[in-house]
């Protein structure tokens, strides 16, 4: 656990970037710091690895005050990913990833094997391993940045707006990859973003900060959406929080209806379209039993017939739901 107790940062010019921040960041989970520009997110993050020193208060990792540790040793045990990846331009991709293991004196073969394995894990095509950072896209560079931060297998990863500089589609992919990776690695990740949607998607817990470096609310995303503590958090979370809260409602089983005859299936039972008078209408989104109510509602809303299609793990249609079924599930 990383614990902030009454932590304040006042810069030499008098700016109070973080004001008496107290919170507990659980191990093995993703905790997101979110808030408007200048609210002290980056300062808070960087006080953990002491690339910025706090003015007062205590930050401890598993009970040990970070100021009791040698800063260089501390930083080696904490992965750090920043916007634009911050890769070394004169080193190849694989050498970038190998930086910390080399510093730690690992043998060459083990270092290279680990670097290649990590590149694979973050979803980078291994053909790119010998390229230089400038020869990669922004999204690819961010993957290398994540692999580099993971190289020494740190228990903690600090990620400062790591996906902000890429386009929305790549950003979505990188977010999905991070969640997939985290299911395997279970690191303590502290993630900074100014984007509340990213915070809600990635965070097990979300710390909303207000300008002046004060904590407005610290809660799991579902709680934040359902019960924002004040107008600031309500405004920051956004207008459609009721709809977005559906992401966190996972009914065990929706009462699906049989597949209607106008749903056209292929030989494997996978839906291909809706039969209309003289044409075939395209499918909307589909969902699976156990998915969120948001996924089920999305399937209903995007379907040309109003029937949202439920599929099994093989993509085979198992039934349909309509708005009434989703609305009923919401009430229960
Ligand atoms: N070296 C510094 N000297 C003086 N003030 C600073 C310094 N670094 C940051 N600040 C100020 O501290 C406050 C918090 O900055 P910080 O970078 O932590 O915010 P942030 O929430 O990460 O912002 P952004 O989302 O814009 O990156 C801001 O008012 C900023 O101007």
Which residue shows structure tokens 């993703």? 30
Residue 194 CA to ligand 1 centre (angstroms): 13
How confident is the model at residue 81, as a pLDDT? 87
- Of 16, 19, 43, the one to substitute when testing ligand 1's pocket (max ligand atoms within 8 A of C-beta) is 43
| Residues 13, 20: Cα–Cα separation, whole Å | 18
- The confidence score (pLDDT) of residue 261 equals 93
H-helix or E-strand containing 217?
A: strand 214-219
pLDDT at 100: 81
Rounded Cα–Cα distance for residues 241 and 72 (Å)? 42
Q: Which atom of ligand 1 is nearest to the CA of 18?
A: 14
The pLDDT, as a whole number, for residue 172 is: 87
Q: CA-CA distance, 174 to 140, in Å (whole number)? A: 9
Structure tokens at 330: 């919401």
Q: Map tokens 């710091």 to a residue.
A: 33
Separation between Cα atoms, residue 88 and residue 173, nearest integer Å: 24
* Amino acid 162: pLDDT: 87
pLDDT at 65: 95
Please measure the distance between the N-terminal and C-terminal CA atoms of the chain and give it in whole angstroms: 36
pLDDT at 243: 79
- What pLDDT was estimated at residue 185? 87
Helix ranges (DSSP H) in 203-316: 221-226, 231-237, 241-245, 293-302
Distance from Cα 16 to the centre of ligand 1, integer Å: 9
* 18 CA → ligand 1 middle, Å: 9
The helix (H) or strand (E) run that includes residue 281 is strand 280-281
Q: What pLDDT was estimated at residue 320?
A: 96
pLDDT in tens, 217-228: 999 998 998 889
Which residue segments constitute the domains of the chain, with CATH numbers given?
Answer: 2-248 (3.40.50.300), 263-331 (3.10.580.10)
Cα 283 from Cα 211, distance rounded (Å): 45
For 241, the token pair is 């929080």
Asked if residue 28 lies in contact with residue 85, where contact means CB atoms within 8 angstroms, the answer is no
In this prediction, the residues of the chain whose per-residue pLDDT falls under 50 are none
- What pLDDT digit, counting tens, does each position of 37-57 carry? 899 999 999 999 999 999 999
DSSP lists the bridge partners of residue 59 as 4
Dump the DSSP string for 273-319.
EEE-SSSEEPP--EEETTS-HHHHHHHHHH-TTSPEEEE-TTS-EEE
The torsion region of residue 129 among left (phi > 0), alpha (psi -120 to 50) and beta comes to alpha
DSSP classification of residue 283:
P
Do 249 and 223 form a contact (C-beta atoms < 8 A)?
Answer: no
The CA–CA distances, whole Å, from 37 to 15, 152, 163, 166, 212 equal: 14, 32, 16, 18, 11
pLDDT of residue 84: 74
């Amino acid at each position: 656990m990383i614990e902030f107790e009454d932590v304040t940062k006042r810069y030499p010019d008098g700016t109070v970037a973080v004001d008496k921040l107290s919170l507990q960041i659980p191990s093995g989970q993703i905790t997101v710091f979110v808030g408007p520009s200048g609210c002290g997110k980056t300062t808070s993050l960087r006080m953990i690895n002491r690339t910025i020193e706090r003015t007062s208060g205590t930050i401890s990792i598993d009970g040990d005050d970070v100021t009791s540790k040698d800063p260089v040793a501390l930083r080696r045990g904490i992965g750090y990913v920043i916007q634009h990846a911050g890769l070394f331009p004169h080193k190849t991709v694989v050498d970038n990833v190998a930086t910390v293991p080399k510093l730690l004196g690992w043998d060459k073969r083990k270092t290279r094997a680990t670097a290649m394995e990590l590149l694979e894990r973050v979803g980078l095509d291994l053909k790119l391993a010998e390229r230089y950072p400038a020869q990669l896209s922004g999204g690819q560079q961010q993957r290398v940045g994540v692999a580099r931060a993971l190289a020494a297998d740190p228990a903690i990863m600090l990620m400062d707006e790591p996906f902000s500089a890429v386009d929305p589609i790549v950003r979505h992919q990188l977010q999905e990859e991070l969640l997939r990776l985290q299911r395997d690695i279970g690191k303590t990740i502290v993630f900074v973003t100014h984007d509340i949607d990213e915070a809600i998607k990635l965070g097990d817990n979300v710390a909303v900060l207000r300008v002046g470096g004060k904590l407005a609310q610290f809660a799991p995303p579902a709680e934040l959406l359902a019960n924002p503590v004040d107008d600031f958090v309500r405004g920051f979370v956004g207008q459609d929080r009721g709809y977005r809260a559906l992401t966190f409602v996972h009914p065990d089983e929706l009462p699906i209806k049989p597949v209607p005859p106008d749903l056209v299936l292929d030989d494997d039972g996978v839906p291909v379209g809706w039969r209309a008078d003289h044409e075939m209408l395209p499918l909307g989104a589909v969902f699976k039993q156990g998915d969120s109510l948001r996924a089920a509602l999305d399937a209903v809303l995007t379907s040309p017939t109003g029937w949202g299609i439920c599929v099994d793990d093989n993509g085979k249609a198992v039934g349909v739901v309509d708005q009434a079924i989703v609305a009923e599930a919401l009430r229960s």
